[in-house]
Amino acid sequence: MNNKYPYNILVVEDEEQSRENFVSYLLMFYENVFEASNGERALEVYKREKPHIILLDINIPKVSGLEVARQIREKDLMTKIIILTAHSEKSFLLEAMSLRLTKYLFKPVNRKDLKQALDLAITELEKFDIIVNDEIEVNEFYTYSFNKKSLKYKGNEISLTQKEQLFFEYLLKNRNKVCSYHELLSYTEVASLDGLKNLVKRLKKKLNDELITNISGIGYKKS
């Protein structure tokens, strides 16, 4: 039986042995663990894999950890970022705090502190304790505003019913994760599985791109 957490984690650390240690440890508990040794590579992996949690060392080559976090935060406030740092200066911590981090850990990091930070990130993910930008990019054509509950295609608003909006938000908040029928029925308060499938059918007709993938017998995920 697979008891691993269904979240993707990206480890960004330029020290090879430290990175290998993190990856080896995390693979015991998480389904997918990705790695990067510099900031440039980290942004490439982030864009491709869309991790739920990032362990991000500040002192990395090419693009600094703070700059990586800044670029991610320009459009994404949902991904949980845990900073790994040797710094303790007040000015650095204030700058890092402005990036809405889940936690910052001072190196060398022990497993107890790491586990507590990861548990906090998971709690935030599971409880949807998420602050989002007024408008985020879903893909190159679509944007969504969590504040206004508004989905736009090339700047033009798409009218959604309340349950369609709830369904779509749940997929966005759980990107890269298959959302089960049970979860979606509970969150949208749709009365039956047939009702949920009809909701998705109506929603898909409103979307020019295939943004929703059906995982037969299990549920749905954002494409």
List C-alpha distances in Å: 90 to 2, 66, 95, 108, 111. 42, 15, 9, 19, 25
- Residues with Cβ within 8 Å of 15's Cβ and at least 6 positions away in sequence, in order, are 57
- For residue 200, which of 158, 166, 151 has the smallest C-alpha distance? 166
In the predicted model, is pLDDT for residue 136 greater than 70? yes
pLDDT of the residue at 200: 95
In the predicted model, is pLDDT for residue 39 greater than 90? yes
Per the model's pLDDT, the better-predicted residue between 130 and 27 turns out to be 27
Beta carbons within 10 angstroms of residue 144's beta carbon:
21
Q: What is the spatial distance between Cα 64 and Cα 109, in angstroms, rounded to a whole number? A: 19
Choosing among 3.90.1640.10, 1.10.10.10, 1.10.10.60, 1.10.3720.10, the CATH entry for 136-222 is: 1.10.10.10
What mean pLDDT is predicted for residues 23-41? Answer: 94
Rounded to two decimals, the pTM is: 0.60
What mean pLDDT is predicted for residues 108-132? Answer: 80
In the predicted model, is pLDDT for residue 130 greater than 60? no
Distance of CA 187 to the CA centre of its chain: 19
Q: What is the spatial distance between Cα 120 and Cα 38, in angstroms, rounded to a whole number? A: 25
Write out pLDDT tens, residues 178-198.
Answer: 888 888 888 788 989 999 999
Domain ranges of the chain: 5-127, 136-222
- For residue 205, which of 172, 160, 166 has the smallest C-alpha distance? 160
pLDDT of the residue at 159: 92
Q: Does domain 5-127 have CATH number 1.20.1290.10?
A: no
What mean pLDDT is predicted for residues 84-89? Answer: 75
- For residue 176, which of 223, 123, 125, 127 has the smallest C-alpha distance? 223
In the predicted model, is pLDDT for residue 209 greater than 50? yes
Computed over every residue of the chain, the mean pLDDT equals: 86
pLDDT of the residue at 201: 93
Q: Which two tokens stand for residue 45?
A: 């992996």
pLDDT of the residue at 9: 96
What mean pLDDT is predicted for residues 152-167? Answer: 91
If pLDDT is split at 50, 70 and 90, which confidence band does 4 have?
A: confident
- Residues with Cβ within 8 Å of 206's Cβ and at least 6 positions away in sequence, in order, are 158, 159, 160, 164
Beta carbons within 10 angstroms of residue 123's beta carbon:
12
- Residues with Cβ within 8 Å of 215's Cβ and at least 6 positions away in sequence, in order, are 178, 221
pLDDT of the residue at 129: 44
Write out pLDDT tens, residues 20-30.
Answer: 999 999 999 98
Q: Are strands 30-36 and 5-12 parallel, antiparallel or unpaired?
A: parallel
